Structure 1
Amino acid sequence: MPNETKQMSAAGLNALRTREGAVLHYYNDIANNCTFGVGGLAHHGPCTDEEMRRPVNAADVNAQLAVSVRSAEAAVRRQVPRRELSQDQFDALVSYTYNTGPTGAHPVLSAANAGQDAQVVSHMNRNVNVVPRDAHGRRLRPVRSAGLVNRRREEAAPFQPPVPAR
């Protein structure tokens, strides 16, 4: 397997941290899900009052990030076994998988495995909606997120064809 020893690079990890931000407390994300740290989902639905008062330290955030990145790396390695990825492509797929989860990333990872870069870009650029939840955790209508549009543009970049020189 050509990607079996790949890990997210330091540059990829820094880009992920920048995209996600690091928050040292629990908060309700754009979809109204209880989140903390570097976009770490605590649970679906809004945070409780107790969670909102609960402090989170840098060690907790770094531990959550490390576990989640390792999980995303493993999913990329498992679902892209046939095609050798560049480091930038691997980092982009790990970032995408970190954000969407392995199930949400499956169409993108399948396209990447098949060498269908245009499909990777297309799938990524379509995945720019969030599904907010009401105060009771019930799903509402999807909403387009400008932040995800920008993030997907960055994540899709390593799969874009090179621009010819003039």
Structure 2
Amino acid sequence: MSTEGQRALQHNEGLRRVYYNDSANNCTFGIGTLAHMGPCTARELGQPVPDPVIQARLGAGVRRAEQIVRDAVPDHTLTQAQFDAAVSFAYNMPGGARAALNPANRGDMVAVARNINAYVYVHAHDARGHPVGPPRRSDGLVDRRRREAAPFLVPPQPALGAAP
């Protein structure tokens, strides 16, 4: 993931130096790092998290997301912008990334963009991590998914020196 991609990921996720309940009511901290499914306990909520812990977990999460993207798209070379966007998506949706990115293997980037844009629903969870109630559309995810899908909608550029 490029430095620009890392900045975009941090913008997409935001930074919170305390434990908090995310939009799906899961205990989270740092840069979108899941502490555990379900809400934070009263003791966890608002508890500070040191920057070295945040950065270590972010690094591990990015490495995991990069590997998910490499595994999901072994048959097609992504541009740097596409790879960065795919890593951001996989960081946030590791379970859905393989299926969403699979059309890239046959060069169908429009299908990849369409798939990414479909992941805009959150599911609230109880203290045991079980889904509660119906999924709801998240405006924040709609905006994020548009940013992540955009590089897949850009026509490929010819290589330098190539004939038009």
TM normalised by structure 1 equals: 0.88
Out of 32, 54, 59, the position equivalent to 2:25 is 32
Out of 123, 148, 166, the position equivalent to 2:115 is 123
| Structure 1 or 2: more helix by fraction | 1
The one-letter code matched in structure 2 to 1:116 is: D
Paired residue for 1:95?
Answer: 88
The one-letter code matched in structure 2 to 1:114 is: R
Out of 100, 107, 113, the position equivalent to 1:108 is 100
Identify if the C-alpha distance between structure 1 residues 50 and 117 changes in structure 2 by more than 3 Å, giving closer, same or farther. same
- Deviation at residue 19 of structure 1 after TM alignment: 0.9
- Deviation at residue 53 of structure 1 after TM alignment: 4.7
**2:45, 2:39 → 1: CA distance?**
10
The one-letter code matched in structure 1 to 2:31 is: V
SS of the aligned residue for 1:98 comes to: helix
**1:120, 1:47 → 2: CA distance?**
34
- Deviation at residue 14 of structure 1 after TM alignment: 0.3
SS of the aligned residue for 1:35 comes to: strand
**1:135, 1:50 → 2: CA distance?**
14
- Deviation at residue 135 of structure 1 after TM alignment: 5.3
Gaps spanning 5+ residues in structure 1: where? 1-7
**1:36, 1:93 → 2: CA distance?**
22
Out of 139, 146, 149, the position equivalent to 2:139 is 146
Q: Which moved more, 1:20-29 or 1:112-121?
A: 112-121
- Deviation at residue 138 of structure 1 after TM alignment: 3.4
Paired residue for 2:162?
Answer: none
Paired residue for 2:37?
Answer: 44
| Structure 1 or 2: more strand by fraction | 2
**2:127, 2:96 → 1: CA distance?**
24
**2:53, 2:43 → 1: CA distance?**
17
2:67 matches 1:74: yes
CA root-mean-square deviation = 1.3
Aligned residue pairs total 154
Q: Taking every aligned residue pair, what percent have the same amino acid on both sides?
A: 50
Q: Which runs of 4+ in 1 moved over 6 A?
A: none
